[in-house]
Amino acid sequence: MTISSIEGRLKPLIIKNSRLTIDAVSEDQALNFDLGYDSHALLNLLLDIEDEFGLEVPPDQVPQYVGVSFGKLLEMVQSHVEGM
């Protein structure tokens, strides 16, 4: 799976779970500061990512997603997808 196809599937999940009204997501936007994510929204996003990409985010890895940028999240999802 290419990074652009992952990005195309990930952006709608980011927008869906954001507490803000946003139309676009850039790689440098942080989930918590720029996109309005709190812990509840982050957990919902991770569950949606698991469903969308058929992967599992182990509970001990959840804290590393707090405050990451969209670009970093994209890299993390790509590494999980490639590791399957």
Q: Is the dihedral of CA 49, 82, 56, 62 positive or negative?
A: negative
Query: Comparing C-alpha atoms, which of 84, 68, 59 is closest to residue 31?
Result: 68
What local confidence, expressed as pLDDT, does residue 47 receive? 96
Domain with 52, as residue range(s), is 3-82
Confidence of residue 12 (pLDDT cuts 50, 70, 90): very high
When divided into structural domains, the chain yields a total of 1
SS3 30: strand
pTM beyond 0.75, yes or no: yes
pLDDT at 41: 93
pLDDT of residue 24: 84
pLDDT in tens, 40-82: 999 999 999 999 999 988 889 889 898 899 999 999 999 988 8
CATH number of residue 52's parent domain: 1.10.1200.10
The answer, yes or no, to whether residue 84 has pLDDT greater than 80, is no
Task: Report the DSSP beta bridge partners of residue 69.
Answer: 30
